[in-house]
Amino acid sequence: MVFSSLLFLFRFMPVTFLLYYAAPKRWKNFVLLIASLFFYSWGEIRFFPIMVAVILVNYFAGLAIGKWRTRRGLCRAILIISLVFSIGWLALFKYAAFFITNLNALTGLGLIVPTLTLPLGISFYTFQIMTYTVDVYAGKVQTERSLINFGTFVVLFPQLIAGPIVKYSDISRELHERKITLAQIQDGVAIFILGLGSKVLIANSVGALWTELSTDIGFANISTILAWLGLAAFTLQIYFDFSGYSLMAIGLGKMLGFTFPQNFNYPYISRSVTEFWRRWHMTLSGWFKEYVYIPLGGSRCSPGRNLFNLFVVWSLTGLWHGAHWNFVLWGVYYFALLVIERMWLRPMLDKHRLLSHVYAILAFMLGWALFAIEDLGQVGVFFGRLFIPHGGTDWMFYLRNYAVILVLGIFCQRPRLKSWRSSYQSGCNGYVSRFSVWYWCFPSHILSIQHTIHFYIGTFKEGAVCSF
């Protein structure tokens, strides 16, 4: 069940919010827990026992650490057990096949490669759970004694699928005491609609170009200009898809009385890779910095050790995104760029504003090529198309079909839209009586516009005359 589906918009969401708002204060977390478990179990009921087990193990681990806090050795053992248990499921479902395949290739053992379906949101909720047990052990947060509150934190449906990664400390106070106002609800509705529009109208539409090139045509059959055009489409798609989901999650959280951290801050206006990672998926970057980079020693060590720490962080960052070598290569790629910027490029980037922005955009786009193509052989083919000129007029056909949505995507990722968004949210707060109208009509209109965009794109592909 995804946020942009009709099932979520017109069945799960209205029923859940109706029950939530009608429930007494002391029952709201229970309603959220049941609704979130239902959301998680929809279509993946076989993973329900694993989710329950992860919740119980980490809940009791937190209680035990809080009870025996003075016995550091015992607490450390409990922490390790809870971490191994949580990470173990992630390793099994996400990385077992990857490691066994590579082990077979290196040793010729011929071990059976398991075929496992990845549980919904396991990468996100595993990291979130770890923030609780690690912070309890470090004394940064108090032990959560309510199983309902802890379970709500783990499976809270707005951020379960695609983040943002919410630490326990981010919402611990709101788990126990939160105030929900009508203005806050309307602000959440406005943010949710903006995220829904980003996902449905822009990401889905512009992403069709990359899908067609990568699956239907093949990289070996496209011109150089079309290769760059497709890469630009994917660059926009991944931003509006991911940031759209994050906006929807933040909006849903506001409607429920929670304040989730910002996850994107116009990353494509960055003038360096360093700045990009301060703006892109900020909760993930913050997580790796706080729970991996700093414990390893951070920057307060020798230059060689610092390089090692950075390499570990970015290798893990790549692997976190997927169990394929292209993701590892993607992580190492950013490690190399960050090191080069830190040691040599930063003074030049600071001096030349336009040049630095062009460099950053080129770096992002090439990075997304590594990210999007899992087959390393096809990576080579695609990069050959990018940098070895291949003629052809195929790009004219696709530019004609996708020009409008590409221009719209480029425009909407600029900060100038921020003031419009603020004005829109303020307008929402001024029409209290129209809340229900927005709720029912806007998602419908957004989905209708999506079908219209896809209709015209399909018409153009069939050879209809169009002028841009």
Q: Which of 176, 281, 321, 324 is catalytic?
A: 321
Length reported for the chain: 468
CB 175 within 8 A of CB 29: yes
- State in Å, rounded, how far the first CA of the chain is from the last one: 37
Q: Does the annotation mark 451 as catalytic?
A: no
The Cα–Cα gap between 316 and 334 comes to 12
CB 246 within 8 A of CB 395: no
Which strand (E) or helix (H) includes residue 344?
none
Residue 237, CA atoms < 13 Å, CB-side half-sphere: 19
Q: How far is CA 461 from the centre of its chain?
A: 31
The Cα–Cα gap between 180 and 255 comes to 7
Which two tokens mark 355? 């040049």
Calculate the alpha carbon distances from 32 to 36, 43, 50, 154, 254 in Å: 6, 19, 19, 11, 14
pLDDT 10s digit of each residue in the chain, 468 long? 788 888 999 999 999 999 999 999 889 999 999 999 999 988 778 889 999 999 999 999 999 998 898 888 999 999 999 999 999 999 999 999 999 988 988 888 888 888 888 888 888 999 999 999 999 999 999 999 999 999 999 999 998 888 799 999 989 999 998 888 888 899 999 999 999 999 999 999 999 999 999 888 889 889 999 999 999 999 999 999 999 999 999 999 999 999 999 999 999 999 999 999 999 999 999 999 999 999 998 888 888 899 999 999 999 999 999 889 999 999 999 999 999 999 888 888 888 888 999 999 999 999 999 999 999 999 999 999 999 888 887 888 889 989 999 999 988 887 765 555 555 455 544 443 344 444 444 444 444 444 444 444 444 444 433 322
String of DSSP letters for 421-463? HHHHHHHHHT-GGGHHHHHHHHHHHHHHHHHHHHHHHHHHHTT
C-alpha closest to that of 121 among 88, 81, 82, 90: 90
